[in-house]
Structures are given as structure tokens and as C-alpha cells.
Copies of this chain bind each other. A is one copy, B any other.
């Protein structure tokens, strides 16, 4: 359907516009390779033509296995331009894990970069579907596919049709395929551009992997603004600072740990950056220490919250103009909250076990529930899991939170991260906050250890700030001085914390370590 007053919403249209309006502006920087918006659009349509020539038909699934780079951006627009559905893959998965997804999504073509050729081959060999592999790089099959193709653009007939399938990290059981529709990505991209004030002068550093929640929809948000995509293949602080300075970077996204790794690096600026930079952090709240460091470096911080199931950040800790006058401690307290629905999201709810709203008293804990245009269509080939996750049409995030009187949600803990000790609930986040308030602590994770007497007890894993030292006993005392004694960790272990590709601490790994 399409007509005088109706055109299906698809985020691919943003590139079509920018290819004209910002034709000669730099769209992509990927090492030595640069692409203007006009050239990006040309390559996107050639990729679409190449895929069609390789037998890809409307509704077919095309896998993407690559670090942040031009190929991921081209595929983000080119696969839909061929009428096909994207399946972005986490480059840290094992061949067996990837094979499961390839088979579950019935991927027929797998696009990969040169760096992940061996992984792609191993995954394909481990799969039943045996997708055709197309590797990118100079003189590659990918380039040959584009060189031999006619430009193609398949128009989207139904904005509610699938755009991509994003597999969850699957910390519990098999990964699930979260289906995004064109309409959702279109609206979410507009919301991200609006909230982060992207425009044609923006320069966006890709610290967040594009395969993660489709890069929180920033591939489309940056493109609709006509901004510059500056690709970073992995979070290397030295390279990041080089690119920030060379390309006058104005925006980046990631977990707070990503920002910490940048700001604690010796290349971090001594004075405030010019232009200022906006860092959108998610996965955990930015601590007061981090916020202070960031502001001194000329970096403003927005706290966002979401899941794979919500196209990334459905929730934003909406900054208020008055907050600019607060001191860092007050600002950190307000910014630590997850916040409110973004401008295109529906109201974020906190519900009890019967699905009723909890009071907005900042105290009553419930589960965060969402629905609307930026909530997934459902889990691919798993209607039972979809129904279970959204029993009454509201998706249950699995995150526990409270609702503040001003309408801002604060996440208390992941449901599965709550420690139940002697019948009392301990929010691991609360204990972690107490730990990181100690000046020697850089990061902390608290998990449950099985205990014959208490059922579970909290234990802490801690990494120290450079040059700092502290004993486990001192840290336990520090927590006891701030929280109820039963919430203090029974043991403290020092060392680096295991993290996911997006910089989130892997509590599953720590739980296994604690139990073992």
C-alpha cells in the first residue's frame, strides 16, 4: 500500500534522502576507506542487486558476521533494499553457537568481513543450512558481487514486515530471535536522532557493536541526520582517542565501562574536548565518579535503557534543563535512573505479579513492562516464548524496578540477579553501588553463592583503580557502614571482570565461578 497520503515507513528511506541532500558529505570512515552518502547509496543498491543475483528473494534471511565497518553499514541498508531480512551475528560466539542461529533463522547467505572468514567457515560447516559465504575486503567475493550487479531497490510493501532478526545473548538457554519491523526501526531512529541532537555536523564513533540490538538503531539515526559514521572495529582506547580528535567526534554509545576505559586511558584529554561529545550509556547507570570524569573531559552523558526486544533504548533518563546547575553528586543520582519512555515509546510501566501498576512511590518493586512501536514483533519461530514474555500484551523485561513520583523508572536489579539470603531480597546493584563508592574500586559485580544455611549469600568480584589497593575485609566493612549488614558480601575476589562484547559484566560467568 502506498498513495497520496501514505507511504510505508522504512529506515532505508533515510539513506535515500541523505544520498541526495548530503550527497558529497562523508558518510563512512572505515580505516583508509571512506564513502560519501552518494557512494554509500550506490554501493547499497549494488549489494541489493548482487544479493538478488545470488538468488536472495523477498523475505529470505541474510546473516551478517562482521566488526563495525563499511560492510555492516552497507548491509544494514542493502539487505532490506533486496527485500531480505537481516540476521546480525555476534562475532564473539563460537562456531557451534553461530550454527544454531544460522539454522534457526534459515540463513541462506552469510556476509562476513575478512577478519571473521575462518569463523564464518567454521559456523557454516557446523550448520545444517550451509549458507553461501560472501566475504568482504579488497579483491573479495563481496566486491565482485557488487561489481557485477545492477542497482536494485525493492520497495517495502508492508511497514510491519520483518526488517531484521536480532538474537539475544542467550545467557539462559538457547538464543532467541527478536524480530524488528520496518516501522519500529524507523520511529526508533527518529527518536534517537531527536534525543541526542544528531545533525549533519555530527560525527559518530562506533564504540557499540552494530550487531548488538542493531546498534541501538544508530545506523539509521546517524544516516537520517547526514552525520559521519566513524567505524571502530574494537574498543581500543588509543585508536578511539585518535579518531575522536581526527574526526571531531560528537557522539558515541556504549556501556559505562566503555566510557571508563576511554577516560582512564593516558590519551584522555586534560581539558574539555572541543567540540563537546555526547556519550549515550546503557547497560548500567553511570557512576558519580564516571560522570565527574566525563564532564571534566567535555563529555555530556545521557543514560539510556533498553533490551534487544526494544530496539535498544526505549527508555531515556530525560535530562531536564535545570540539571545543568546541579553538582556531580546530585546529577549522578538523577542520571542513575533509567527514566521514561523515549518520545516515540509508550509509557513505561512497573507492574506487580498480577500485571497491575505499582504506586509511584520510589519504593514498591515491580517488573518493568513495555509495549508499542519499538517493541519486538515477537520471537522468531517461538510463539510460546513470545506469549510467555508478554502474557497480557505487555512485554516483561525481566528487570525489577521502582517508579519515582516524577514518573522516572529506576532499575533495582535484573530479576535473575536478585540474591535471596535468609528470605531477604538483596539487590545486587545496591551492593555494587556501595562497593564502587570506595575510592579504590574501579568496578564491582555482586552475585549469589549457594549457602547451606542462608540459601544464598552475596559475594563480590572487584577490579581496582590504577595504583589503588584495599583488602576484602576493608571493603566488607565499607559496605556494612552503608547498608544493612546482611547485604554485605561474604567474600571479595579481586581481578578483571568478564564482559560481553558490549562491555556488560557477565554475571552468569561469575555465578558459575562462585558456585564452583
Pairwise interchain contact B197-A199, C-beta atoms closer than 8 A: yes
Q: Tally A residues with Cβ within 8 Å of B.
A: 51
Among A6, A16, A193, A321, find the residue whose CB has the most chain B CB atoms closer than 10 A.
A6
Q: Are A4 and B318 in contact (CB under 8 A)?
A: no
Nearest Cβ on chain B to A257's Cβ, whole angstroms:
28
Which chain B residues border A321 with CB–CB below 8 Å? 200-201
- A430 touches B (CB below 8 Å): no
* Chain B binder among A263-271, A286-294, A340-348, A506-514: A340-348
Cβ distance A24 to chain B, nearest Cβ, rounded Å: 9
Complex Cα spacing A372 to B7, Å: 5
Residue among A20, A25, A199, A395 facing the most chain B CB atoms (10 A cut-off): A20
Interface status of A377 (Cβ within 8 A of chain B)? yes
Q: Is A373 an interface residue (CB 8 A)?
A: yes
Inter-chain contact B343/A395, CB cutoff 8 Å: no
- Chain B positions within 8 Å of A181 at CB level: 5
- Copies of this protein in the complex: 2
A230 at the binding interface (Cβ < 8 Å) = no
Question: Is A320 in the interface zone, CB < 8 Å from B?
Answer: yes
A7-B318 contact given A17-B347, A20-B407, A406-B23, CB 8 Å threshold: no
Docked pose: A184 CA to B7 CA in angstroms: 10
Q: Are A3 and B393 in contact (CB under 8 A)?
A: yes
| Residue pair B373, A7 in contact (C-beta under 8 Å) | yes
Do B20 and A347 touch across chains, with their CB atoms under 8 A apart?
yes
A224 at the interface (CB under 8 A from B): yes
Contact among B16, B160, B341, B343 with A6 in the assembled complex (CB-CB below 8 Å): B160
A14 CB within 8 Å of chain B: yes
The answer, among B9, B21, B347, for a CB contact under 8 Å with A318, is B21
Query: Contact between B5 and A378 (Cβ–Cβ < 8 Å)?
Result: yes
Task: Tell me if A376 is interfacial: C-beta within 8 Å of chain B.
Answer: yes
Whether B376 and A5, one on each chain, are in contact in the complex, defined by CB atoms closer than 8 angstroms, is yes
- B-facing residues in A337-383 (Cβ within 8 Å): 340-341, 343-344, 346-347, 371-373, 375-378
- State which residues 376-427 of A face B: CB under 8 Å: 376-378, 386, 390, 393-395, 406-407
What CA separation (Å) do A256 and B193 show in the bound complex? 29
B23 touches A377 (CB 8 A): no
Contacts of A386 in B (CB 8 A): 4
Tell me whether A93 is interfacial, beta carbon within 8 Å. Answer: no
Asked if residues A200 and B320 are in contact (CB atoms below 8 Å), the reply is: yes
User: Is the CB–CB distance between A340 and B17 below 8 Å?
Assistant: yes
Tell me the residues in window 1-52 of chain A with beta carbons closer than 8 Å to chain B beta carbons.
3-7, 9, 13-14, 16-17, 20-23, 25
Chain A 317-339 per-residue mask, 1 if CB under 8 angstroms from chain B, else 0: 01111000000000000000000
Q: Is the CB of B371 within 8 A of A3?
A: yes
A194 at the interface (CB under 8 A from B): yes
Q: Does A190 contact B (CB under 8 A)?
A: yes
A370 to chain B, nearest CB (A): 9
Q: Which residue of B lies closest to A199 (CB)?
A: B197
CB-based contact A21/B371 at 8 Å: no
Q: How far apart are the CA atoms of A4 and B346 in the complex, in Å?
A: 11
Looking at the assembled complex, report how far the CB atom of A402 sits from the nearest CB atom of chain B, in whole angstroms. Answer: 16
- Residues of the B chain whose Cβ atoms lie less than 8 Å from the Cβ of A183: 6
B371 touches A7 (CB 8 A): yes
Q: CB distance B200 to A4 under 8 Å?
A: no
Cα of A194 to Cα of B201 in the assembled complex, Å: 14
Q: In the complex, A183 Cα to B5 Cα: how many Å? A: 10
On chain B, the residues within 8 Å of A5 by CB distance are 160, 181, 184, 371-373, 375-378
Check A194/B190 contact, CB under 8 A, given A17-B347, A20-B407, A393-B3: yes
Using A4-B395, A21-B340 as known contacts, list a sample of 9 further A-B pairs with CB atoms less than 8 Å apart, ordered by residue number in A: A4-B375, A5-B184, A5-B377, A20-B340, A20-B406, A20-B407, A25-B320, A190-B190, A201-B321
